Structure 1
Amino acid sequence: MVWALQDAKNQFSEVVRRARAEGPQTVTLRGERAAVILSAEDFDALKAGRPSIVDTLLAGPDWDEGLIEDITKRSSAPSRDVPL
């Protein structure tokens, strides 16, 4: 169901009840879709099986051996003198 923002605010308990019973409820602002109210169960289903950003980054390609060598060879000294 589609709810105007003012109606959704005034009847928030009903919006939540319908989200749990009927599925996602769309809220509009000035006639444009602004938000979707989901039941916790629907939200959990959307998140299930999705890797986190950390999982995605850790699953990236292995580093090239040449890159590893270049990193270990580089100087640990700063590139310029910094007065202390």
Structure 2
Amino acid sequence: MQAWTIQDARVRFSEMLQACTVDGPQMITKRGIEAAVLVPAAEWHRLQSRVRPTLKELLLAPSGRGDLVIPPRGRGTRRPTSSY
């Protein structure tokens, strides 16, 4: 993975984009510290597909979502009623 400074990435963006599509992800640094990575679109889509499903997807899924354990009800005491 090649590292680019922000200024180089800004000035030579087309070259960095070409390097990304040919060589893979490109690191962008800011003052010597890793700030961002430019990745090919195909790799981005692959990474996004591995992300955990959203709540909507979980609720609409045909498979079960797990066992719901409901504790047995006991003979609890009621709170005393207050007379105001």
Task: Give TM-score, length-normalised by structure 2.
Answer: 0.64
- 2:8 pairs with 1:7: yes
Question: How far did residue 56 of structure 1 move?
Answer: 8.1
2:34 partner SS: strand
List runs of 5+ in structure 1 lacking aligned partners: 70-84
List runs of 5+ in structure 2 lacking aligned partners: 74-84
Equivalence for 2:46 = 45
Which structure dedicates a bigger proportion of its chain to helix? 1
**Looking at CA atoms only, which structure, 1 or 2, has the larger radius of gyration?**
2
- 2:68 pairs with 1:63: yes
Alignment partners' CA distance in 2, 1:35 and 1:8: 11
Question: How far did residue 43 of structure 1 move?
Answer: 0.6
Equivalence for 1:34 = 35
RMSD over equivalenced CA pairs, Å: 2.7
Percent of pairs with identical residues: 31
Per-residue deviation, residues 34-75 of structure 1 (Å, max 9, x unmatched): 0000010111121234332327865754322238x8xxxxxx
Alignment partners' CA distance in 2, 1:14 and 1:64: 57
Equivalence for 1:54 = 55
Task: Give TM-score, length-normalised by structure 1.
Answer: 0.64
2:67 partner SS: coil
Alignment partners' CA distance in 1, 2:47 and 2:70: 38
